[in-house]
Structure 1
Amino acid sequence: MLVRTRSKDGNFRFELSPASSISELVEKILGTTENADPSTLAISNQPRGNETLVSTLQGQTLQGIGLKHGDLIFVSYKPLATAPIPSPEAESTASHIQSDPNSQRPWESVKEDSVDEYWRSNDGKIPRKRDSRFCKHGANAMCDYCMPLEPYDSAYHTEHNIKHLSFHAYLKKLQPKVTTSTSSVLPPLEPQSYKVKVPCPSGGHTNWPAGICTACQPSAITLQSQPFRMVDHLEIASTDIIDRFLQAWRRTGLQRFGWLIGRYESYPEVPMGVKAVVEAIHEPPQEGEVDGLTLGLPWEDEPRIRALAKSATSPLTVVGYIFTDLETLPEDRAKVAYKRHPQSFYLSSLETIFAAHVQNANPTPSKSSPTGRFASRMVTAVLTGTEDGGIDVSAYQVSEQACAMVDADMIEASVDPGIVRVKEEDRSQDNARYVPDVFFRYKNEYGLEVKKSAKPCFPVEYLLVNVSHGFPQEPAPLFRSAKYHIENRPGLEDQHIEGILKSLLVCVHRMSQKVIATYKDALS
């Protein structure tokens, strides 16, 4: 069969057999290059992104990796630092791609969450009943009017007011209908990065900040709504969890922060949906204030809390965090100010950047990314005032664009909570920062879509992803002992062994009284 390659050395064609090993193709590719480092040789099914090192494809045949007659693959590599010198790694073509015989492609060895394993074993199609108006067949037949829909069907999402695809529905949409191409064996997702590539793939100049070219600089960014979300719903296992968390604010008027402890489950209300179920809230050491709080990061207690959560009857993990933004009305202390709304903001720019830091620090293990990790399922929840003066939960995530911009140190908070500032470019050697062009689209007063530069600032809404929330109709929380004192509430709920013993004695006394009463009833 004919295999076409394209690299910075030009376009080439090779006649190979479908049963040929990847080593034969590598040998021919290396013959067209000059001073190539074999360990960095990578192939992709697209000009930029989705590259896979050939060293991870050891033992595969061309047919096995999905190549067919006439396919075009894109080749990239890094040059050797010096002229090629015979070495153990370059003695033969086979040694160019040889690695530990027990090694696998990185994404194949990833251990995913149980909810991901569940959805990978299901097609996720949306069943439909027989339509009496259009279906003219029998009960056991099927036609276009009653056949199941794909989980990413746009009409279904519009009808049910579902704004974002679930993560696995998005993966289904990316999967090619024909499974005989290179893209069928290579992970479809590529983590976003807005950093300058160091060293430069072309190797034709000194590294950033001394030099930069189109091969190593990130492309211009157009901010847009993310089509998918990693978590579709936040479920609080019991209202007592929220009430217990709110007690500190009610008694002091100071804002509180807590890490959400729970698990991920399937969410049937959304095709191939995922929900985060919260079973407990851990409050780390913090200093609350009337209009904010001070929190220590990195989180020192994280290893201990994660170990405790994992040892529960049903293993748990950290699924996000929650904080309060509450202020009582001067004219009615029983009501809370309505601060977050369409004419104000939902998450401030500072909170959005903090959320991006948390998500970047907690990526989701995924077989669909060449790095073995993609995005994050950490949810940001806010307890704030409603329009009628009550208190409710709002849940969000920030987009992959937001996480990539924070990782590249491109944005910062603004005095206006609804505005994000784009930082200035910095070419200093100690703190080099490249900032590509950033744009966003909006509709003007005439209803026309306009593209505008995001420098020096843009609305924070472009970085947010909404997550629905709620409580179960039949609560069955994992933990039922809500009366024990909560740690890190000095002066309010001090944790002493005497208090625990007192609570246990009260429980024993009540149990003994019930036993005595039962015994008396039996004697009478």
Structure 2
Amino acid sequence: MIIRVRSHEGMHRVELLQKLAPMMNAPTPDSIILTREAGSQQMLADFEKSLLSLGFKHGDMLFASVAASARPSVEPTSTHATTSSTASFVQQESVDNQLEKDDGLIKRRRDGGFCKHGANSMCEYCMPIEPFDAAYLAEKKIKHMSFHAYLRKVLSENKIRGDISSSLPVNMPLPLEDLDYHVNGHAQWPEGICTKCQPSAVTLQRQPYRMVDNRSNDVPLGIKAVVEAIYEPKQAWEEDGIKLAIDSPEFDAEIAHANTAAELCGLKVVGMVLYRRHANSYFLTSLECRLAAYMELKHPNACRWARSGQFGSKFVTCCISGNQDGDIDVTAWQLSNSAMAMQAADLIVPSSVPSKMCVQEPTKTRYVPDVFYKYTNEYNLPVTANAKPAFPVEYLLVNLTHGFPNEPNPLFKSEGPFYIENREHLHQVQTLGLVKNHIAGAQGSLDKMAALLSDFHFLVYLSSLDILSADNVKLIGRIITAETPEMSAQLTDELLASDGWQTLSLMLQEASESDLNHGAGSAMDTGDSSDGFSSGAQNTSSAGGGSGHSSSPWACRHCTFENSPANDSCDMCALPRD
């Protein structure tokens, strides 16, 4: 039996009167006043009794209000009226604050063919243009403008002018709002829905901006992610890929620990790396798209111009693969804001075809709006197609460019890399014996010790031992980020004299020979993983065993990746050694 209830929040249909409290923003069910007629002073007692025992029939109507004593003293601000008073508390990243101070204007030289003025004047042919200028973007073949260029465009359209880095005017509506495909209203679906809370139809199209760029002179106000280290979380190997327990408390605790170590070096998570690619695989499958959208939702971008204080995400997904020329190739992507919203509302699900994403079927508890996508047919005409039951994954992607520095200047400078974490299945185990072996050659030299400490995996392991104090671990972060070798050596001397390091040294002296050789393999191996860290403007191998091959590293003849001598297949492309 369903009863209709009319209140200042609108019309509700309920089975249990106790469900009225969240619908009416009432603190408790007892604070709701129920009457049979509008404006009546006769309150209904026995609130806890069933509707049937109160004498109601299916479809009857009640009138409800919240007791004056239970109402909040200040009415909540509408989400559409969020102003600078709330946005001022948003802690944006330093790169966003820096770019907001840049005018972003594209300077142009005097045009000898059209400019008729002197050298100290300008006209419409040589005056600076906005970073979102359509003609400039088309000329430079820029498919996606930078986020801050898009922000300038939105502010211009909303007639918000002046220095956007200054304080925002009070009561000014904020122009950005993330997409939301949930049913948000008086009652959650399926109990209630109306034209106001019903999500509109979704039309997938190319996103005009991207949150991260590989910045060049042709991309105004661009942002780049600089990868300094790669952390490998625990993962289970499957025949068709890897399995991550991303919803478990253990996984969250592990990543939080790695994040803490990264923050000591001025780093933050910027994305994840996917690999195990070959000629017959897809660069980004529908399952990986959904994972990328999930990770972007877990790493929202703080933005003071958004009504919620968040807009999009800077989280990047990279695919590592060998190309047809036998070289290592990197492809970088982001999932669009539409993809993030569809993932948040549980509207999409991977399909058995890697290049297709399925639209969920509606259920009694899941409302699914109409979803469409546009394409150009064989007659070069635009066509709008229904995305159900499936649509190509490229409608969810925003591609990024990438590059490698001509003169690398890595943050971590250790020439003897420490074992990478979570590689027990490859017989590489981080132990105190391995720590002893890692620093053995640096005794008596502060410079060598500082260089060996400059290893992200070594820092994460040392911080996990609970032997060094928090101040000791912070000191290692200062050694890694020191501006000069002299400062790094001075801080290293301070670390070696600390009580925590002295305790560690005593424990290393007691480290058994078995610990020293446990999981012995090539410590020079590197690998790819799932969570990357970046700084600045943002930001395998196994033990030996009778393989019959030489003891030196070997380069894969398919993708040229250098592998451990103990490996019978390539860690990059998974193809056999012979």
TM-score (norm 1): 0.66
- Aligned ranges for residues 160-199 of structure 1 at < 5 Å? 160-176=140-156, 178-179=159-160, 185-199=172-186
1:275-332 CA-partner distances (Å, limit 9, x unpaired): 11110000111123464112221333122111111111xx110000102123xxxxxx
2:434 alignment counterpart: 499
Contact kept, 8 Å, 1:224 with 1:462, in 2: the verdict is: yes
Residue equivalent to 2:200 = 219
Q: 1:419 & 1:167 partners in 2: Cα distance?
A: 28
Structure 1 pair 179/356, CA: closer, same or farther in 2 (3 Å)?
closer
CA distance in 2 between counterparts of 1:437 and 1:464 reads: 20
Equivalent residues in 2 for 1:2-401 (5 A)? 36=8, 82-83=64-65, 85-87=67-69, 96=75, 105-176=85-156, 178-179=159-160, 185-200=172-187, 207-233=188-214, 268-289=217-238, 291-298=240-247, 299=251, 300-312=253-265, 315-326=266-277, 337-339=278-280, 345-401=282-338
Shift of 1:184: 9.1
Of 472, 476, 481 in structure 1, the residue corresponding to residue 409 of structure 2 is 476
Number of aligned residue pairs: 374
Checking the alignment, whether the CA contact within 8 Å between 2:259 and 2:269 is kept in structure 1 is: yes
Gap change, CA 1:512 and 1:153, over 3 Å in 2: closer
AA matched with 1:83: S
Match status 1:439 vs 2:372? yes
1:179 to partner: Cα distance: 4.0
CA distances 1:481-511 after superposition (whole Å, capped 9, x unpaired): 1522111111343212222222322234899
- TM-score normalized with structure 2 length: 0.60
Q: Which runs of 5+ in 2 are unaligned?
A: 1-5, 10-61, 78-82, 162-167, 449-578
Distance 1:83 1:406 in 2: 36
Higher relative contact order (Cα pairs below 8 Å, separated by 6+ residues) = 2
Asked if residue 458 in structure 1 is aligned to residue 391 in structure 2, the reply is yes
Deviation track 1:173-199 (CA, whole Å, cap 9, x = no partner) reads 011364499999221111111111142
Structure 1 residues 182 and 104: CA distance shift in structure 2, 3 A: closer
Q: What are the Cα deviations for residues 78-114 of structure 1, in whole angstroms up to 9, with x where unaligned?
A: xx983365448588xxx5579xxxx973222101000
Within 2, Cα distance between the matches of 1:111 and 1:97? Answer: 22
1-structure distance, mates of 2:256, 2:160: 42
Distance apart, 1:132 and its partner CA? 1.8
CA RMSD of aligned residues (A): 3.0
Residue 422 of structure 2 corresponds to 488
Q: Which residue of 2 aligns with 1:421?
A: 358
Q: State the one-letter code of the partner of 1:82.
A: A
What SS does the aligned partner of 1:217 have? Answer: coil
Shift of 1:419: 0.5
Partner Cα distance (2:329, 2:191) in 1: 51
2:337 corresponds to 1:404 = no
Once residues 261 and 201 of structure 2 are traced to their aligned partners in structure 1, the CA distance between those partners, rounded to angstroms, is 44
How big is each residue's C-alpha offset from its partner over 1:218-273, in whole Å with a ceiling of 9 and x where there is no partner? 1111111111111112xxxxxxxxxxxxxxxxxxxxxxxxxxxxxxxx76541110
TM superposition shift of 1:36: 4.4
Measured in 2, the distance between the counterparts of 1:421 and 1:441 equals 16
Aligned-partner SS, 2:88:
helix
Q: Output the amino acid matched with 1:436.
A: P
Contact 1:267 1:275 in 2 (8 A): no
Query: Structure 1 112/90 Cα, relative in aligned 2: closer, same or farther at 3 Å?
Result: closer
Aligned equivalents of 1:363 and 1:505: distance in 2?
A: 43
CA 1:450–1:170 in 2, change beyond 3 Å: closer, same or farther? Answer: same
Question: Which structure has greater strand proportion?
Answer: 1
- Please tell me whether the aligned partners of residues 233 and 255 of structure 2 are also in contact (alpha carbons under 8 angstroms): no
Q: Work out whether residues 92 and 302 of structure 2, in 8 Å CA contact, stay in contact via their aligned partners in 1.
A: yes
Cα distance change, pair 512–116 in 1 and its aligned pair in 2 (3 A): closer
How far apart are the structure 2 equivalents of 1:290 and 1:196? 39
**Cα gap change, 1:96/1:499 in structure 2, threshold over 3 Å: closer, same or farther?**
closer
Alignment-mate amino acid for residue 147 of structure 1: M
- Counterpart amino acid of residue 417 in structure 1: P
- Cα deviations across residues 150-192 of structure 1 (Å, max 9, x unaligned)? 0001111122121101111001001136449999922111111
Give the Cα separation in 2 of the matches to 1:442 and 1:104. Answer: 40
Cα distance in 2, alignment partners of residues 380 and 157 from structure 1: 25
CA contact (8 A) 2:181 2:341 kept: yes
Between the aligned partners of 1:325 and 1:162, the Cα distance in structure 2 is 30
What do the CA deviations read for 1:321-365 (whole angstroms, capped 9, x no partner)? 102123xxxxxxxxxx3245xxxx431100000001000111011
Amino acid at match of 1:448: L
- CA 1:81/1:309 → structure 2, altered by over 3 Å: closer, same or farther? farther
> In 1, distance between residues paired with 2:198 and 2:211?
28
Q: For the Cα contact (< 8 Å) 1:418–1:459, is it kept in 2?
A: yes
Q: Report the residue type matching 2:174 in the other structure.
A: P
Compared with structure 1, are the counterparts of its residues 183 and 81 closer, same or farther at alpha carbon in structure 2 (3 Å cutoff)? farther
Deviations 1:125-166 (A, max 9, x none): 111111222222121111111111100011111221211011
Amino acid at match of 2:288: E
The structure-2 alpha-carbon separation of the partners of 1:183 and 1:503, relative to structure 1 and needing over 3 Å to count, comes to closer
> Which amino acid is 1:308 matched to?
A
Unaligned stretches of 5+ residues in structure 1 = 1-33, 38-79, 201-206, 234-265, 327-336, 514-524
> Is the contact between residue 306 and residue 318 of structure 1 (CA under 8 Å) also seen in structure 2?
yes
Q: Per-residue CA shift, 1:29-60, capped at 9, x if unaligned?
A: xxxxx9647xxxxxxxxxxxxxxxxxxxxxxx
Q: Distance in 1 between matches of 2:70 and 2:194?
A: 33
The 3 A distance-change label for structure 1 pair 354 and 415 is same
Q: Which residue of 1 aligns with 2:44?
A: none
C-alpha distance in 1, partners of 2:434/2:63? Answer: 67
Summarize the Cα distance change of 1:210–1:402 in structure 2 as closer, same or farther, 3 Å threshold: same
Structure whose alpha-carbon radius of gyration is higher: 2
